[in-house]
Amino acid sequence: MATLISHSPAETLALGEQWGQSASAGWVIGLSGELGSGKTQLVKGIARGLGIPQHVLSPTFTLVHEYRGGRLVLAHLDLYRLETTEQIVGAGLDDYLWQPAGVTVVEWIERWLPSLDPQDPQDPSKSAQRIPIPRHSRFVRFASLGENERQITYEDFGN
């Protein structure tokens, strides 16, 4: 598990850009954190790193945005409005998690994989061992430390 501190939205964007440059097809990146903690900013950076020319917006009301035109397709999901795994499965989003065409980034991943809930005091690596997880995945937790500072903790599985 790695932890870093972002001191600004620009640093979070740059981190996402690095991740996008090194991402490969089939990656699933799950994001967890409060509203305004930097999740969408990271996704904007990932899109930039993938060479995607479109402006990235949060898909809160549409659940998913797909961005093409870069090195890989980026599927950006936001599960904030869905409350249960059953609702997510019912919305037909399973393929984005289990068979992504490119890179899938899921905001509020704990709604899909409840064992990854950031309120759960267990080590996320132990939680991930109890549930099936995507083959190549990175789980990221954001914590606000101040107006612009964010603690970003992440761990890779199956890479």
pTM (predicted TM-score): 0.85
**What pLDDT is recorded for position 82?**
84
Q: Are strands 2-6 and 103-107 parallel, antiparallel or unpaired?
A: unpaired
89 against 31, higher pLDDT? 31
Band of residue 23 on the pLDDT scale cut at 50, 70, 90: very high
Q: Fill in the DSSP letter of residue 93.
A: -
Phi, psi at residue 112, to the nearest 5°? Answer: -90, -45
Tell the burial category of 19 from Cβ atoms under 10 Å away from its Cβ (0-12, 13-18, 19+).
Answer: buried
Residue 4, SS3? strand
- Condensed to tens digits (0 to 9), the pLDDT of residues 91-135 reads 888 888 888 889 999 998 888 776 555 444 444 444 444 455 666
- Condensed to tens digits (0 to 9), the pLDDT of residues 40-99 reads 999 999 999 999 999 998 777 788 999 999 999 999 998 888 887 788 878 888 888 888
How far apart are alpha carbons 150 and 34 in whole angstroms? Answer: 11
All structural domains of the chain with their residue ranges:
2-157
CATH architecture of 2-157: 3-Layer(aba) Sandwich (3.40)
